[in-house]
Amino acid sequence: MDENLKSFRAWDAQEGRRDAVRPADVLPEDDLVYFLLDLVPQLNLSEFYNFYSKDLRGQPPFNVPMMVALLVYSYSVGVFSSRKIAWACERNLAFRAIVGRDRPDFRTINNFRSNHLGAMKSLFLDVLRVAGELGMVGLGNLSTDGSKIEANASRHKAMSYAYMLKETKRLEQEIERLLQQATEVDAEQDVALGNRRGDELPDELKRREDRLRKIAEAKARLEAQAKARADAEQARRAAAHAEREAAGLRRRGKPPASVDPTPEDKAQTNFTDADAKIMKRSNKGFDYCYNGQTIVDSAHQIIVAAQATVAANDKQQAVPLAQAAVENLAVAGIERPRDAGGNLTPIPNTADSGYFSEDNVRGVTALGLDPHFAVGRQKHHEPEQPTVTIEDAESVPTATESMTRKLRTEVGRKLYAARKHIVEPVFGQIKHVRGFRKFLLRGLERVAAEWELVCLTHNVLKIWRFTRCRT
């Protein structure tokens, strides 16, 4: 190639080693990292500090605001693994702006996250308080939705109840065979090994005993869950019978079959995360997941309540989520709307048909919210029903008919239509923009805390962008 045809900029491969690059020289002044360095020390971190008050021995730990800022920034920019966070602390200027020269290793980062899972709730509420003080929570429409997020559990580390029974029998027979074999060859091995132990056979036996113990624990979990369901069904039948007796009615038809407290043959549990459940994911088949639930405010897509559950069905989540939202707003000091007389006005709460039931409508209404839940899915190309008045919606006797007409009012249609651009984009931002598609932690309690961390970082990003637009 003729070098005279084109000239190139000068490059010195050693220049980068000689220059001392500071984050402030490269990062913009309104970068997220500087926003967090200003915000985090102003938050209430007392629960984080309380952990260290229990033990004053050993070397001083890393600074709490620094570690909180590091964790929040990492989850905000889509870096979730403790090893990747530690790697970024060495090579990424934004991460180095937080940790400086004293960089925590991945074990320190992972231990800090694990040790302070209980403090995530208070941190979530404190960030929500900041959003409320900035006027970012309007309470004009609280929209509820959930999404299945993959658990840190492999489908290959699971077993059905029927296979557990089969595997238990096989292992018990194999252990018995190995014990018999050990007895038969004991004299021969004494001659061959002398004073040596000869651990080959005991190790093999130990592996089978460990596997048998794990299967027994998994069986016990499935049996306990099946018994709890059977007890609940028995209590429901007893209550229904007592109600019929009080009304002087007799039960029609054949008597129901007795409640079976044993698990079904297809009931499964996972050995790596016993709390995770098989759930159907959109266009991705079935996998071990948790159900991440949120309630999002319409003004700036601020999440006001976040919960994780092992229930694949959303039906039982409407009232607990609404209760959590009401409590969070009160703790965060966010005033609920009032009418001209100073009375609290119901806050609209929109949700898809997965949350609808007459009990849910009554429960959410009792909490001071105004539910707008779809009764069923509207088929494609199905013509819209004519608009009705509020009086028409309230004139029907059942909650199902009333809710159907309520969503056909002009106000109801606008509120429910807004749900699509309130809550659904939030999951897109969390799962596709930031890349959080799988929990790192295991167990419902730890997963719930990690979900609150994910949701509070979503709120932090909204606050940061809101403040940038104001300046």
pLDDT in tens, 246-274: 877 777 777 777 777 777 766 677 777 88
335 and 295 housed in the same domain: yes
Task: Please state, in angstroms and rounded to a whole number, the distance separating the CA atoms of residues 13 and 255.
Answer: 86
pLDDT higher at 281 or 211: 281
Residue in the block written with tokens 């005991």: 202
- Given the DSSP bridges, would you call strands 268-270 and 347-351 parallel, antiparallel or unpaired? unpaired
What pTM, to 2 d.p., does this model score? 0.80
Q: Is the pLDDT of residue 383 over 60?
A: no
Q: Is residue 13 part of a domain?
A: no
Q: Is residue 4 part of a domain?
A: no
64 and 128 housed in the same domain: no
Q: Is the pLDDT of residue 465 over 80?
A: yes
103 and 252 housed in the same domain: no
Mean pLDDT of 120-134: 95
410 and 439 housed in the same domain: yes
Q: What backbone phi and psi angles, to 5 degrees, belong to 286?
A: -110, 145
Task: Please state, in angstroms and rounded to a whole number, the distance separating the CA atoms of residues 463 and 132.
Answer: 10
Task: Please state, in angstroms and rounded to a whole number, the distance separating the CA atoms of residues 151 and 153.
Answer: 5
- The residue type at 390: I
Strand partners of residue 204? none
Which pLDDT score, from 0 to 100, does residue 389 have? 60
Query: Could you tell me the pLDDT band of residue 394, with boundaries at 50, 70 and 90?
Result: low
Task: Name all contacts of 352-356 with Cβ < 8 Å and 24+ positions apart.
Answer: 352/145, 352/314, 352/419, 353/377, 354/146, 354/313, 354/314, 354/315, 355/144, 355/314, 355/315, 355/317, 355/318, 356/315, 356/403
Query: Could you tell me the pLDDT band of residue 340, with boundaries at 50, 70 and 90?
Result: confident
201 and 265 housed in the same domain: yes
233 and 148 housed in the same domain: no
| 470 half-sphere exposure, CB direction, 13 A CA radius | 9
Domain carrying residue 208: 157-270
Mean pLDDT of 282-306: 90
Q: Is residue 371 part of a domain?
A: yes
Q: Is residue 7 part of a domain?
A: no
Which pLDDT score, from 0 to 100, does residue 78 have? 94
305 and 434 housed in the same domain: yes
- Do residues 175 and 201 touch, judged by C-beta distance below 8 A? no
- The residue type at 105: D
Mean pLDDT of 186-190: 59
Q: Is the pLDDT of residue 189 over 60?
A: no
Task: Please state, in angstroms and rounded to a whole number, the distance separating the CA atoms of residues 11 and 267.
Answer: 64
Task: Please state, in angstroms and rounded to a whole number, the distance separating the CA atoms of residues 226 and 232.
Answer: 10
Could you tell me what percent of the chain has a pLDDT over 70?
A: 78
Q: Is residue 5 part of a domain?
A: no
Q: Is residue 414 part of a domain?
A: yes
193 and 341 housed in the same domain: no
331 and 312 housed in the same domain: yes
Q: Any idea what the Cα angle at residue 371 is, between residues 369 and 372, rounded to 5°?
A: 145
Q: Is residue 464 part of a domain?
A: yes
190 and 325 housed in the same domain: no
Average pLDDT, rounded, for the chain = 83
323 and 425 housed in the same domain: yes
Q: Is the pLDDT of residue 300 over 90?
A: yes
Q: Which positions ≥6 away from 373 have C-beta within 8 Å?
A: 318, 350, 351, 352, 353, 355, 356, 360, 361, 403
Rg (CA), the chain: 29
Domains held by the chain: number? 3
Identify the domain boundary among 233, 253, 270. Answer: 270
Query: Could you tell me the pLDDT band of residue 172, with boundaries at 50, 70 and 90?
Result: low
Q: Is residue 9 part of a domain?
A: no
Query: Could you tell me the pLDDT band of residue 212, with boundaries at 50, 70 and 90?
Result: low
259 and 326 housed in the same domain: no
Mean pLDDT of 294-305: 96
pLDDT higher at 221 or 135: 135
By residue count, the chain amounts to: 471
Q: Is the pLDDT of residue 1 over 70?
A: no
